């Protein structure tokens, strides 16, 4: 039996909204340590990795490891029916073919439940090694979203280069070129405006903006996002979900033909 | 420019 109660139910809604355009169907894996998802987008260019630790739930019970295949579009439709402040409880039997979502209003005057049909999804699980990144920039999530959006009107790809002077995002296309540089700013008045750069060695990589833009759909989940880069390796775009875990996206760099 | 499959960077778990 699997049962998980999440007081901040809208967090689940935000997670699903962040990945549903990238991944159509995915397996959610439940174990005593938590609720996780790992999935590649349809074209196998990027990887999504979600981890919600069991201790972040008000109640969490998972008697045996299980994998629940869901259509993220259908899951999003169901979660849309939850009120913003509702408590969400997920329930599934060990051998069932459905998962139930129960929504409770904070005043306890409205309770609803929605059953979602599970699906069999073939998916290979990838091992993501701990990487010694050459550079990590942590910037406001809204700033990352803006950079990706602004550069998308100029070109299809972005070169992200991290040097001691800052992290530069460059794009070019028919319109012309654009460069946006963010510099370390750990003394900003507001904590949510701070930018920090951890640079071990300079690194520059090229990425498809379409995917970086799609990752920015996770903006409502966290105040900040970290981009970690190492030569010839996928960038890790990491949104920390407070007290619970993370939603990470990995995107393979573009390389010369 | 070429785009490698993301799975080619990570081993099977």
Q: What is the pLDDT of residues A163-175, one digit of tens each?
A: 988 999 999 999 9
The pLDDT value recorded for residue A188 is 76
Chain A residue with minimal CA distance to B1?
A256
Chain B residue with minimal CA distance to A130?
B10
Average pLDDT over residues A193-204: 96
Q: Which residues of A touch B2 (CB under 8 A)?
A: 254-257
State yes or no: pLDDT of B13 exceeds 80. Answer: no
The pLDDT value recorded for residue A95 is 86
Nearest to A38 by CA among A245, A228, A216, A188: A245
- Partner residue opposite A256 with nearest CB, options B1, B8, B10: B1
| Spatial distance between the Cα atoms of A52 and A36, rounded to a whole number of angstroms | 6
The pLDDT value recorded for residue A122 is 87
The pLDDT value recorded for residue A150 is 97
**In chain B, what is the straight-line distance between the N-terminal and C-terminal CA atoms, in Å?**
29
- Show Cβ contacts of residue A204 under 8 Å, excluding neighbours closer than 6 positions: A159, A160, A161, A162
- Chain A nearest C-alpha distance from B10 (Å): 6
Chain B residue with minimal CA distance to A206?
B1
Q: How many CB pairs under 8 A join A and B?
A: 57
- Chain B nearest C-alpha distance from A36 (Å): 14
| Spatial distance between the Cα atoms of A221 and A238, rounded to a whole number of angstroms | 11
Is A130 an 8 Å CB contact of chain B? Answer: no
Q: What is the pLDDT of residues A84-141, one digit of tens each?
A: 999 999 999 998 999 999 999 999 999 999 999 999 998 888 999 999 999 999 999 9
Distances, alpha carbon A113 to alpha carbons A4, A45, A88, A91, A118, in Å: 14, 36, 10, 10, 16
Q: Tokens 């051998």 identify what position?
A: A95
Q: Which residues of A118-141 are buried (b: 16+ CB within 10 A; e: fewer)?
A: beeeeeeebebeeeebbbbbbbbb
- Show Cβ contacts of residue A107 under 8 Å, excluding neighbours closer than 6 positions: none
| Spatial distance between the Cα atoms of A240 and A40, rounded to a whole number of angstroms | 20
Q: What is the pLDDT of residues A63-99, one digit of tens each?
A: 999 999 999 999 999 999 999 999 999 999 998 999 9
- CB within 8 Å: A257 and B12: no
Chain B residue with minimal CA distance to A47?
B6
- Chain B nearest C-alpha distance from A241 (Å): 24
Distances, alpha carbon A194 to alpha carbons A178, A182, A188, A219, A221, in Å: 23, 11, 5, 16, 17
- CB within 8 Å: B6 and A40: yes
Nearest to A254 by CA among B11, B10, B6, B13: B6
Q: How confident is the model at residue A187 (pLDDT cuts 50, 70, 90)?
A: confident
The pLDDT value recorded for residue A146 is 98
Joined together, the tokens standing for residue B11 give 């081993």
- CB within 8 Å: A40 and B3: no
Average pLDDT of chain A to the nearest whole number: 96
């Amino acid at each position: 039996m699997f049962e998980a109660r999440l007081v901040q139910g809208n967090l689940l809604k935000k997670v699903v909204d962040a990945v549903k355009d990238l991944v159509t169907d995915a397996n959610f894996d439940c174990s005593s340590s938590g609720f996780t998802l790992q999935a590649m987008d349809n074209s196998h260019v990027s990887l999504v990795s979600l981890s919600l630790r069991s201790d972040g739930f008000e109640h969490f019970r998972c008697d045996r490891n299980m994998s629940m295949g869901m259509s993220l579009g259908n899951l999003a439709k169901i979660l849309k029916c939850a009120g913003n402040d509702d408590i969400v409880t997920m329930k599934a039997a060990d051998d069932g073919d459905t998962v139930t979502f129960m929504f409770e209003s904070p005043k306890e005057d409205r309770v609803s439940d929605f059953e979602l049909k599970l699906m069999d999804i073939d998916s290979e699980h990838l091992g993501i090694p701990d990487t010694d990144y050459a550079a990590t920039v942590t910037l406001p999530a809204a700033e990352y979203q803006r950079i990706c959006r602004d550069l998308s009107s100029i070109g299809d790809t972005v070169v992200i280069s991290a040097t001691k002077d800052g992290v530069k995002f460059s794009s070019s296309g028919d319109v012309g070129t654009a460069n946006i540089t963010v510099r370390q700013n750990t003394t900003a008045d507001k904590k949510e405006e701070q930018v920090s750069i951890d640079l071990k060695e300079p690194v520059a990589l090229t990425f498809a903006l379409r995917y970086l833009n799609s990752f920015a759909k996770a903006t409502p989940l966290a105040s900040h996002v970290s981009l970690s880069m190492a030569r010839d390796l996928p960038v890790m775009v990491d949104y920390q979900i407070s007290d619970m875990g993370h939603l990470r996206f990995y995107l393979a760099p573009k390389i010369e033909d | 420019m070429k785009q490698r499959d993301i799975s080619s960077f990570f081993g099977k778990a």
